Each structure stands twice: as C-alpha cells, then as structure tokens.
Structure 1
Amino acid sequence: MDAAEALGLLMSPQGRVDPYPTYERLRAHGPVAQAGPAIYAVTGYAEADEILRDPRFGVLDEPLRDQFLPGWRDSPAITSISRSMLRTNPPDHSRMRRLAAGTFTPRRIAAMRDVVAAQADELVDAMAARGAGGEPVDFLTEFAYPLPVGVICTLLGVPGADRPLFRRWAADLTGVLEPEITPDELAVADRGATELRDYFAELVGARRRAPTDDLTTALVQAHDADGGRLSGDELLANLVVLLVAGFETTTNLLGNGLVVLLEHPREADALRGHPEFAPGHVEELLRYDSPVQLTTRISDAPATVGGVEVPAGAWVLLLLGAANRDPRRYPEPQRFDPWRPQSHPLSFGAGPHYCLGAGLARLEAQVAFPLLLRRLPGLALAGRPRHRARLTLRGYETLPVTTDTASAPPHPGTPAGAAPGTP
C-alpha cells in the first residue's frame, strides 16, 4: 500500500475508529511521507516536534483560508474556530494567548487540586449510587464529561445549571476539526457553533452588567478597554474555544485512559495503591492512546524535514498518535508502560500552539484515576465501548462500566496487555 492509499484508509470510518494499524503502513514510507500532491504525512516524533516549533510552518490562518477555503466566512463553525487563538499565527496568536494565559499558570493550576478532587469525589459517589444494583452506567456521562466541564466552567464563570447544554454543542462543533468533513457534517458543526456563540454573547452581556472574578470577565474587560487587544469576534471565538478545548480533550483522556487501565490490571493495581505514580501513568496514557491524534500545518517556505523536501504551500498532517508510537523514541511503543523514562508525548502539541490547558488536563487525570481505582475497586467494563468515528479528537461515544466486579459481565474486547490496533 503506497502512502496515498494509506492516507485514504486513515480518513475512512474504519481508519478513524482504529488508526494505529494505518499509522504503521504510513510509517513504512518514512517519518515524513508524501501522500499526495503537496500533502505530507508525518509519523516521526522528532520530525513532528521539529515542525511544531518551526516558524516556517503555520496554522491555516485567515489569509490562507481565503486562498484555500473561499466562502469560509459563511460557516459559523469555521469562523468560530478560525478567529480564535487555535487558528491564528503570530503576532495575533501571541496577542490573544497572553490575555488568557494568566488563568493557566502552574501555580494557579496547582491551587485547583483540592477543588478538582472534591468534584471528582462527588461524581464517584453519584456513579457508585447509580450502579449499586449492578446496572451499567456510562462513564462518559457520569464522570468523564462532568468533571472537566465543571472545572472549565468554573474558570469561565458559567453557571452550573447551564453545563449540560455544552456536550452536544461541542460534539457538533468539533466535527469541523476533522481533516475531511461532508456538507452535512459541516451543517451540524455550524449549528453547534451558533448555539455556543449565542450562549456566550449573552454571558458577555451579563458580565458587562455585573463583573465577577472569572476568565470571561477578564476577556470582556480586555476587549472593552482596548479593542485592539481583542476584537468582538475574537472575544466570542476564544470563549467558545476555551470552553470546548477545556473539556473535550480531557473527557477523551479520561475515557481512553480508563479503558487502558482496566485492560492492564497490574498497572492499574500499582496506581490504586500508589497515587504518587499518577504523573507517570498519565503521561503514558497520553502517549499510548492520545486524545488528540492529528494537527495540521501549512509550510510558508521550503523546508527539509526528515530528509524530505517539503515545498512552500504544502499541507502537512502531523499524526501525533503515530509520533507517540515512534519506535525510534519509544522502545516497544505498542506496550503500555507507565515507567518509561522521559516520555514527553506530543499529545498537547509543542511550540507556540502548545495546549494552553495542558497542565489542567494533566491535573484532572492525575487526581481522577487513582481516586476512581481506590473508591471503585470493582470498576469494570460492561461491554465493548464504541469509539466515535473521529480522528483529530479520539474518544469514545459510549463507555459502559459497572462498579461491582461480581455483577460485571466478561469484557469482550482487547485482552489485558494488548494494545489498541495490535493484531
């Protein structure tokens, strides 16, 4: 299978649900492989890391969108993503990022540990009560979604009663992050974007009338004090992206990570008894089944990466899930090993666009997994979990679990010790 065929397979529903075998087909063509006219797929860790840090490779910003996606302003979803820090290059990216960065400093994140632990404890209580009779519960609905959405909504100042609204809106909107999207899927994404923008337009008005100590108020005041620091469109776009990015990735990390731990009971037992192992376990979970599998860059000048000449104007697909399993960096990359030295997976990117909330996502996972394993020693999969047919944001659509081992049916999925995508 040549690189173009492998990339086509990766974009298919089958390839998106389980991308790991296709990554290896692409890796056979080298760490940087031309997979079409001016299309390059990167599976190597060093090469992906280099491109993420190289200023010659940028995101698809407004001038490039005008060139490649005429009419993009007609799509609320593309507009919402594109006018945020997620899809802008320096200096605009740096200007917007600085306004929100103070909320995500290591000190402020560390100070949130007790709040995260208290919220996680309450969710475990509710999940245990709901599953006390042996009935399966959906881990995503009961824990993996409400924990991170509660944390990011607290930072943004979103009222608790409104939080259930965001799951569907965000799921709809994030379809626009996929490398290929159908007109029907774009219509769904536009609907989610419109709902989110309308919601935040109302919240912005409320914060103007009654400021509070939250990130929304801070961004509103930055806009009102100097529109050059943050335009009205940028204000709404960044609020939408901060909310969605604040829980979508972490929800996937919690869901993906729980499945891996339950399929590797020895490693789960070690974490249950030693919560201090959580940082290493979480880094390996990020590497092993990354919640973000793909990001893209456009080259604005010729560059040589991994011995391959990448021309100006090339579309570069950085396959982060493949880079995290590059055998040149990670011996036995298909094996889940929480004791790997210096893992540093690329799941949150690198360089100027390194995920602003990476520290918060790590904190939530480091608190959640030991707590779940300790409080619910009988936690088990209650059937085969179903992945969403998404590549960029990899996660489960449903994840049924039982909280009592005696009532849990045998798990029909991957045997313990086997990696997703391993024959």
Structure 2
Amino acid sequence: MDAADALALLMSPQGRIDPYPTYERLRAHGPVAQAGPVFYAVTGYAEADEILRDPRFGVMDDELRDQFLPGWRDSAAVRSISRSMLRTNPPDHSRMRRLAAGAFTPRRIAAMRDVVVAQADELIDRMRDRGRDGAPLDFMADFAYPLPVGVICALLGVPAADRPLFRRWATDLTGVLEPEITPEELAVADRGATELSDYFAELVAARRRAPADDLTTALVQAHDADGARLSGDELLANLVVLLVAGFETTTNLLGNGLVVLLEHPRAADALRGHPEFAADYVDELLRYDSPVQLTSRMSTAPSRYGGVDLPAGSWLILLLGAANRDPRRYPEPHRFDPWRPQIHPLSFGAGPHYCLGAGLARLEAQVAFPQLLRRLPGLALAGEPERRVRLTLRGYATLPVTVGEESPLTDRGTPAGAAPGTP
C-alpha cells in the first residue's frame, strides 16, 4: 500500500475509529512520507517535534485558506476558528495568546487542585448513588464531560446552569477540525459555531454591564481598552476556542484513559494504591491513546526532514498519535507502560502552538484517575464502548460502566499534597 492509499484509508470510518494499524502502513514509507504533489504525512516523533518548533512552518492563514478553501468566509465554523489563536500565526497568535496566558500559569493551575478534587468527588458521589443497584452509567456523560467543562466554565465565568448546553455545540463545531469534512458535516459545524458565538456575545454583554473576576471579563476589558489588542471577532472566537479546547481534549483523555486502565488491572491497582504515580500514568495515557491525533502545518521555506526535501508551500499532516508510538523514540510503543522512562507525548503539540491548557488538563486527569480507582474499586466496563468517528479528536461517544461498591477503606478525594513521582 503506497502512502496516498494509506492516508485515504486513514480518512475512512474504519481508519478513524482505529488509526493505529494505518499509522504503521504509513510509517513503512519513512518518518516523512509523500502522499501527494505537495502533501506529506509525518509519523516520526523527532520530525514532528522539530517541525512544530520550526518557524518555517505555520498554520493555514487567510491567504492559504483562499487558495485551498475558496468560500471559507461563508462558513461560520471556519471563520470562527480562523480568528482564534488556534489558527493564526505570529505576531497575531502571540498577541492573542498573551492575553489569555495569565489564567493558565503553573501557580494558578496548582491552586485549582482543591477545586478539581471537590468537583471530582461530587461527580463520583452521584455515580455511586445512581449506580448503586448495578445499573450501567455512561462515564462520558456522568464524569468525563462534566468535570472539565465545570472547571473551564468556572475560569470563564459561565453560569453552572448553562454547562449542559455545550457538549452538543462543541461536538458539532469540532467537526471542522477533521482533515476531511462533507458539506453536510460542515453545515452541522456551522450551526455549532453560530450557537456558541451567540452565547458568548450575550455573556460579553453581561460582563460589560457587570464585570466579574473571570477570564471573560479580562478579555472583554482588553478589547474595550484597545481594539488593536483584541478585535471583536477575535474576542468571540477565542472565547469559543478556550471553552471547547478547555474540555474537549480532557473529556477524551478521561474516557480513553479509563478504558486503558480497566484493560490493565495490575497497572490500575498500582495507581489505586499510589496516587503519587499519577503524573507518569497520565503522560503514558496521553502517549498510548492520544485525545488529539493530528495537526497540520504549511511550509513557508524549503526544508528537509526525514530524508525528504520539503519545498516551500508543502502541506504537512503531523500524525501525533503515530509519533507517540514511534519505536525509535519509545521501545515497544504498542505496550501500555507507565513505568517507561522519559515520557514526553506530543498530544498537546509543541512550539508556539503548544496547548495553553495542557497543565490544567494534566491536573484534572492526575486527580480524576486515582480518585475513581480508590473510591470505586469495582468500576468496570458494562458493554462495548462506542467510538466517535473522528480522527483529529479521538474519544468515545458513550462509555458504559458499572460502579460496584464504594470501598469503605478509602477516604474521599486524593491527598492534596500528593506529589508526582516516578514509579
């Protein structure tokens, strides 16, 4: 199978649901494989890491969108994403990122641990009560979604009563991040983008009337003080992206990770008894089944990676899920091993576009998994999980579980002082 055929298979429903066999077909063509006249697939860890940091590569800007996606301005979803820090290059990207970065400093994230612990405990209480008679629950709806959406909504100042709205809107919108999208899927994404933008337009107006101690107020005030720092379109686009990115990746990390842990009971038992191992576990879960499988870059100057000459104007699809399983970087890459040394997954990217909320996502997972395993030692799969037919954002649509009995020998919560350790 040549690289073009392998990439076509990857885009099929079968390839999206389980991309890992297709990654190996692409890897057989080298860490950088040409799949079209100016189109390349990157499966190598070192190559993907370096390209993400190389200033000769950037995300698709307006000029390139005009070339590759004529009519993109007619799409509410593409237009919204294109005005956010997610799809802009320096200096615009740097300008927007600086305005939001203060909410995601290591010190501020560390200070949120007690809040995350309390929210996770409350959700576990509800799961235990609703599943006491052995009835199956949907882990995605009952824990994996409400935990991160509650945390990011608290940062943004979104009222708790509005949080259930966002799951469908975000699911609709994020279809636009897929490498291929049908007109019907684009129409759904446009609907999600419109609903999210309308919601935040109302929240922005509310914060102008009554400022609060939240990130939305901070961005509104930055816009109102100097429109050159943040335009009106950028304000709404970045609020949408901060919300969606703030829970979508973590929701998928929690779902993907729980399945892996339940499939590896000895590893789960070790984490249950030693929550201080959580940081290493989360990094290995990110590597083993990344919630973000790919990103893309365009080259602005000639370069050479993986023994392949890349002319200016090359379009690269960086397969982060494949890079995380590069055997040159990780021996026995298809084995889940939280004790492997030097785990540095590319799941949150690298370079200027490294995920702003990566530290927060890690914190939520580091808290959640030990608490779930300690308080619900009988937690088990209750049927076949259903994968979403998505490639970029990999996760489950539904994940049925039974909770068993809460252990009488474990306390609620994870020790607030538990420090990351090396197993």
TM range (shorter): over 0.9
Instruction: Tell me the distance in 1 between the aligned counterparts of 2:33 and 2:87.
Output: 24
Query: 1:81, 1:129 → 2: CA distance?
Result: 40
Task: For residue 40 of structure 2, give the secondary structure of its aligned residue in structure 1.
Answer: strand
Where has structure 1 moved over 2 Å in runs of 4 or more? none
Aligned counterparts of 2:121 and 2:61: Cα–Cα separation in 1: 42
Aligned: 1:390 with 2:390:
yes
CA contact (8 A) 1:72 1:78 kept: yes
SS of match in other structure, 2:268: helix
Q: Give the Cα separation in 1 of the matches to 2:75 and 2:269.
A: 48
Contact 1:169/1:196 (<8 A) preserved: yes
- Equivalent residues of 1:378, 1:403 under 8 A apart: yes
* 2-structure distance, mates of 1:22, 1:53: 26
Q: Deviations 1:95-149 (Å, cap 9, x if unpaired)?
A: 0000000000000000000000000000000011111110100000000000000
1:67 aligns with 2:67: yes
Confirm or deny that 1:339 pairs with 2:349: no
Deviation at 1:347, TM superposition (A): 0.2
Match of 1:326 in 2: 326
Structure 1 distance, partners of 2:96, 2:64, is 19
2:42–2:316 contact (8 Å) kept in structure 1: yes
Matches of 1:39 and 1:11, distance apart in 2: 15
Report the Cα distance in structure 2 between the residues aligned to 1:399 and 1:37, rounded to whole angstroms: 41
Give distance in 1, aligned partners of 2:120 and 2:193: 29
The question of whether the paired residues in 1 share the 8 Å contact of 2:132 and 2:405 is answered with: no
Give the equivalent residue in structure 1 for 2:102. 102
Report the Cα distance in structure 1 between the residues aligned to 2:50 and 2:393, rounded to whole angstroms. Answer: 22
**Residue identity opposite 2:190 in structure 1:** D
Secondary structure of 2:346's counterpart equals coil
Post-superposition offset of 1:314:
1.2
Q: Name the SS of the counterpart of 1:116 in structure 2.
A: helix
The aligned counterpart of 1:168 is 168
Q: Distance in 1 between matches of 2:38 and 2:397?
A: 34
CA distance in structure 1 between the partners assigned to 2:127 and 2:383 by the alignment: 17
Alpha-carbon distance, 1:405 to partner: 7.6
The letter for the 1-side match of 2:120 is A
Q: CA deviation at 1:67?
A: 2.0
Give 1:125's aligned residue: 125
1:412 corresponds to which residue?
none
1:419 matched residue in structure 2: none
Distance 1:66 1:26 in 2: 29
2:296 match: 296
Q: Which residue of 2 aligns with 1:260?
A: 260
Distance 1:208 1:68 in 2: 38
CA distance in 1, matches of 2:405, 2:54: 50
SS of the aligned residue for 1:297 comes to strand
* Structure 2 gaps, min length 5: 407-423
Distance in structure 1 (CA, Å) of the matches to 2:158 and 2:274: 35
Question: Which residue of the partner structure matches residue 400 of structure 1?
Answer: 400
**1:380–1:405 contact (8 Å) kept in structure 2:** no
Given that residues 49 and 346 in structure 2 are in contact (C-alpha distance below 8 angstroms), is that contact kept between their aligned partners in structure 1?
A: yes
- The one-letter code sitting in structure 2 at the alignment partner of 1:245 is A
Aligned residues, how many? 406
CA separation in 1, counterparts of 2:61 and 2:342? 33
Three-state SS of the structure 2 residue aligned to 1:316 is strand
Q: Deviations over 1:372-392 (max 9, x none)?
A: 000000000001101101000
3-state SS of paired residue (1:301): coil
Please give the alpha-carbon distance, in whole angstroms, between the structure 1 residues aligned to 2:62 and 2:218: 25
Cα distance, 1:331 vs structure 2: 0.5
Amino acid at match of 1:3: A
Counterpart amino acid of residue 42 in structure 1: V
In structure 2, what is the Cα distance between the partners aligned to 1:3 and 1:246? 34
- Answer whether contact 2:128 2:405 (CA < 8 A) is retained: no
Question: Partner amino acid for 1:310?
Answer: L
Matches within 5 A, 1:18-417: 18-404=18-404
The secondary structure found in structure 1 opposite 2:347 is: coil
Q: 1:108 and 1:246 mapped to 2: Cα distance?
A: 15
- Normalised to the residue count of structure 1, the TM-score between the two structures is 0.95
Q: CA shift at 1:63, angstroms?
A: 2.0
C-alpha distance after superposition, 1:184-207 (max 9, x if no partner): 000000000000000000000000
**Using the alignment, how far apart are the partners of 1:69 and 1:173 within structure 2?**
17
Matched-pair contact (CA < 8 Å) for 1:204–1:220: yes
Q: What SS does structure 2 have at the residue aligned with 1:10?
A: helix
CA RMSD of aligned residues (A): 0.9
